[in-house]
């Protein structure tokens, strides 16, 4: 054999060996050890059902496939429906178990009857009860549970003050120890009440002792006069995960992180990827409304869009669609995440936030709220939507004024803070649909892979967002002096020159009646008062305007009206006055509630005004004031004299 043939044969054998290794890896990866699993935790995974895959039917769902190929089949009993239109589970679907009398709806494990079942040591559940009065609703149980004491090994919603609790005292001792139960990543007692909102429940046996289960949701038997359907689960079920082997605290944290990212649940613990690396650190102040997107193939996670529960902040790739499944975007990298959480700052500017801005960017103001955001291995662009509060006067926002601030240490007045805006050459695009700011094309230029940064929104113009935060605007009719008192309070002011008060009879033609000097710049509460002495019998409307030192004018949408003060015979009438035991109020239907204050202005009583006659017999002899309150903070005040009862 020549040298060339020898080289060819050697190369062929090496290539064949590589192919054999490749096929061995493929075969190995079809086994349970290399399969997808929540949190990447596959050891002992026996049951995994999730509403975004493995379903047969929608209305109703007739089958829900166990994603563990070697696991026991899960049987859908009854006719629950798949819900895909709701965004309450972070754009992911859930199965709604409505628990009717017939056909009863619950999940069971195939092939197990009476008290037999599978030994489980850990359970993870994403869902919630919508009816907390079903006090013994089963989250996981065995079949054949009696109307009295269930069999040992039952995880059950117990009766805790007439509402459903996580686990009843007398049942499985291995799931009663402190630290066994967690809700949204925090330890809770097994007697803690269920929540009627979305949450992640975790039950892990601390003693590594199993509990025998053959049903996951409801399904208690009818026994004689006892109706088992009254204990069926009632509410959404998005995902159920169960292990037959012990799950460590570290692995549980990975599983909870997976569920939290997918369903938009805020955890108090660090978020972990399937590799165990931290994808969001929860130390510090940015632990509120944590949301994120990501791809992690080891747990079959592809969350393309995420939002806060109140939908005021969104993060997403591509565009926001009706569901995560409908989003046609794709992640370039595996184990790639964007996770963000906020402090509790206002969604408008304040003197405090305006004093913490980089001097080099020519900014006028910024919103108070800040977000911490961590990029783990994401190399593509993503987008963020932020909804402004009314205190930012969103109707005045000019998109050309908006600036994205990206800071390295959370203090936007020190360290390194970069300013990005439309047309700056970085590709960032701002758009605005009142009251939502959209920031598109955020890339590694703005937030590099592998770093954590802090962001907020700023403005290059005093109008965007408005630096005056109006807390209230109220009116009070004082019939003792025949005047109408107007008061308002601001929380923060910047460059505030003065206010004007205008009034109108038709809500169209407005007349300026007063000018009140503003505080200029202030971060403290400021109270203002104007008393209108020129009253008319007709209904009168009042509104407030604010003017900056540069002449910029803002008309507040808040308004008040006087519907009785100034009439020849005022509508605030009651008798007798002086009074001893009771008084009767005329036109009682016009008022929502009443207050009685003494001559020092101290509140004696406040109550809803339902009946025309109210009791004043408990009052001591003296002078009081009766205040009747109607819509929009309008108050009418009249003197009330209490005299001794001579009878």
Express each pLDDT in 377-388 by its tens digit.
Answer: 999 999 999 999
At 596, list the tokens. 């009685």
Structure-model confidence comparison of residues 466 and 604, the more confident one:
604
Task: Provide the phi-psi class of 471: left if phi over 0, else alpha when psi is between -120 and 50, else beta.
Answer: alpha
**Average of pLDDT values for 601-612?**
80
Nearest to 200 by CA among 39, 374, 72, 78: 39
598 assigned to some structural domain: yes
- If 0-12 CB within 10 Å is exposed, 13-18 middle and 19+ buried, where does residue 586 land? exposed
Residues 494 and 546 reside in one and the same domain: yes
630 assigned to some structural domain: yes
Give the residue ranges of DSSP H helices in 336-398: 351-354
Confidence (pLDDT) at 203:
93
Of the residues 421, 441, 459, which one is the last residue of a structural domain? Answer: 459
Residues 581 and 511 reside in one and the same domain: no
Confidence (pLDDT) at 145:
59
Confidence band, pLDDT 50/70/90 cuts, at residue 557: low
295's enclosing H/E stretch is strand 288-296
- pLDDT over 70 at 2, yes or no: no
Confidence (pLDDT) at 27:
38
pLDDT in tens, 97-126: 998 888 999 999 999 876 688 999 999 999
Give the Cα separation of 402 and 218 in Å (integer): 52
Residues 106 and 221 reside in one and the same domain: yes
557 assigned to some structural domain: yes
Residues 101 and 242 reside in one and the same domain: yes
| pTM for the whole structure | 0.71
Confidence (pLDDT) at 463:
64
Confidence (pLDDT) at 25:
36
Confidence (pLDDT) at 631:
57
Residues 448 and 371 reside in one and the same domain: yes
Confidence band, pLDDT 50/70/90 cuts, at residue 276: very high
- pLDDT over 90 at 138, yes or no: no
Residues 324 and 213 reside in one and the same domain: no
Buried b (16+ CB within 10 A) or exposed e, 371-385: bbbbbbbbeebbbbb
Residues 177 and 107 reside in one and the same domain: yes
Residues 405 and 493 reside in one and the same domain: no
Residues 105 and 203 reside in one and the same domain: yes
**Average of pLDDT values for 533-562?**
79
Omega of the bond prior to 435 within 30 degrees of 0, cis? yes
- If 0-12 CB within 10 Å is exposed, 13-18 middle and 19+ buried, where does residue 362 land? exposed
- CATH code at position 60: 2.60.120
Calculate what percentage of the chain has a pLDDT beyond 70.
87
Question: Where in the sequence is the domain holding 581, given as residue range(s)?
Answer: 574-642
Residues 317 and 276 reside in one and the same domain: yes
27 assigned to some structural domain: no
Residues 345 and 297 reside in one and the same domain: yes
474 assigned to some structural domain: yes
Dihedral pair phi/psi, residue 573, rounded to 5°: -135, 135
20 assigned to some structural domain: no
Of the residues 459, 479, 503, which one is the last residue of a structural domain? Answer: 459
Coil, strand, or helix at residue 260? helix
Q: Residue 407: how many CB atoms within 10 A of its CB?
A: 21
Confidence (pLDDT) at 293:
98
Confidence (pLDDT) at 159:
81
pLDDT in tens, 209-256: 888 888 899 887 777 777 878 888 999 999 999 999 999 999 999 999
- pLDDT over 50 at 647, yes or no: no
Residues 144 and 207 reside in one and the same domain: yes
Contact yes or no for 606/593 (Cβ under 8 A): yes
Give the Cα separation of 127 and 183 in Å (integer): 11
Give the Cα separation of 448 and 375 in Å (integer): 7
**Average of pLDDT values for 530-537?**
85
Q: What is the mean pLDDT of the chain?
A: 85
- pLDDT over 90 at 142, yes or no: no
- pLDDT over 60 at 295, yes or no: yes
17 assigned to some structural domain: no
Give the Cα separation of 555 and 547 in Å (integer): 9
Confidence (pLDDT) at 597:
87
Express the helix, strand and coil content of the chain in percent, nearest 5 each.
Answer: 10, 40, 50
28's enclosing H/E stretch is helix 3-29
Confidence band, pLDDT 50/70/90 cuts, at residue 12: very low
Q: How many domains does the chain have?
A: 4
Coil, strand, or helix at residue 34? helix
2 assigned to some structural domain: no
Of the residues 203, 227, 253, which one is the last residue of a structural domain? Answer: 253
- pLDDT over 50 at 371, yes or no: yes
pLDDT in tens, 484-519: 899 998 877 777 899 999 998 777 788 999 999 998
């Amino acid at each position: 054999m020549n040298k060339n043939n020898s080289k060819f044969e050697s190369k062929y054998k090496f290539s064949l060996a590589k192919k054999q290794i490749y096929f061995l890896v493929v075969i190995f990866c079809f086994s349970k050890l290399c399969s997808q699993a929540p949190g990447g935790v596959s050891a002992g995974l026996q049951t995994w059902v999730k509403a975004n895959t493995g379903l047969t039917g929608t209305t109703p769902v007739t089958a829900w496939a166990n994603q563990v190929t070697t696991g026991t089949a899960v049987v859908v009993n009854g006719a629950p429906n798949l819900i895909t239109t709701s965004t309450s589970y972070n754009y992911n679907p859930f199965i709604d178990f409505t628990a009717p009398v017939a056909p009863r709806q619950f999940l069971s494990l195939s092939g197990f009857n009476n008290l037999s079942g599978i030994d489980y040591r850990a359970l993870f559940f994403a869902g919630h009860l919508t009816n907390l009065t079903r006090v013994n609703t089963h989250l996981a149980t065995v079949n054949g549970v009696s109307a009295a004491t269930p069999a040992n090994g039952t995880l059950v919603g117990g009766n805790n003050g007439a509402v459903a609790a996580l686990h009843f005292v007398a049942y499985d001792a291995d799931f009663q120890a402190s630290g066994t139960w967690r809700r949204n990543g925090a330890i809770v007692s097994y007697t803690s009440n269920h929540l009627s909102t979305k949450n992640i429940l975790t039950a892990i046996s601390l003693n590594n002792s199993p509990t025998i289960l053959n049903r996951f949701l409801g399904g208690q038997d009818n026994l004689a006069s006892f109706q088992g359907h009254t204990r069926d689960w009632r509410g959404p079920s998005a995902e159920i995960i169960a292990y037959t082997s012990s799950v460590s605290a570290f692995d549980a944290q990975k599983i909870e992180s997976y569920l939290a990212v997918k369903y938009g649940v805020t955890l108090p613990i660090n978020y972990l990827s399937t590799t165990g690396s931290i994808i969001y650190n929860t130390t510090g102040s940015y632990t509120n409304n944590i949301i994120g997107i990501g791809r992690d193939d080891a747990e079959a996670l592809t969350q393309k869009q995420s939002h806060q529960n109140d939908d005021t902040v969104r993060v997403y790739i591509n565009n926001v669609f009706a569901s995560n499944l409908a989003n046609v975007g794709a992640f370039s990298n595996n184990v790639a995440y964007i996770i963000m959480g906020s402090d509790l700052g206002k969604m408008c500017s304040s003197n405090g936030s305006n004093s913490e801005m980089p001097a080099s960017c020519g900014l006028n103001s910024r919103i108070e709220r800040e977000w911490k955001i961590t990029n783990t291995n994401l190399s593509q662009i993503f987008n963020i939507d932020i909804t402004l509060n009314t205190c930012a006067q969103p109707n005045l926002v000019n998109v050309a004024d908006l600036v994205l601030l990206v800071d390295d240490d959370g203090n936007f007045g020190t360290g390194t803070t970069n300013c990005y805006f439309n047309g700056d050459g970085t590709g960032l695009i701002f758009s605005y649909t009142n009251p939502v700011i959209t920031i598109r094309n955020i890339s590694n230029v703005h937030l590099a892979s592998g770093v954590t940064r802090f962001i907020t929104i700023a403005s290059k113009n005093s109008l965007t967002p408005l630096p005056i935060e109006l807390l209230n605007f109220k009116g009070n009719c004082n019939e003792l002096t025949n005047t109408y008192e107007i008061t308002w309070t601001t929380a923060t002011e910047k460059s505030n020159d003065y206010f004007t008060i205008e009034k109108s009879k038709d809500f169209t033609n407005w007349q300026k009646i007063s000018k009140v000097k503003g505080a200029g710049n202030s971060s403290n509460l400021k109270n203002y008062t104007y008393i209108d002495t020129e009253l008319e019998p007709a209904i009168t409307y009042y509104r407030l305007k604010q003017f900056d030192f540069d002449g910029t004018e803002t008309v507040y949408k808040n308004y008040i009206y006087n519907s009785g003060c100034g009439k020849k015979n005022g509508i605030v009438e009651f008798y007798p006055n002086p009074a001893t035991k009771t008084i009767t109020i005329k036109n009682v239907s016009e008022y929502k509630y009443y207050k009685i204050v003494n001559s020092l202005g101290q509140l004696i009583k406040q109550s809803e005004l339902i009946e025309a006659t109210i009791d004043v017999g408990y009052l001591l002899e003296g002078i009081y004031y009766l205040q009747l309150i109607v819509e929009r903070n309008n108050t009418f005040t009249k003197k009330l004299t209490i005299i001794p009862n001579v009878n």
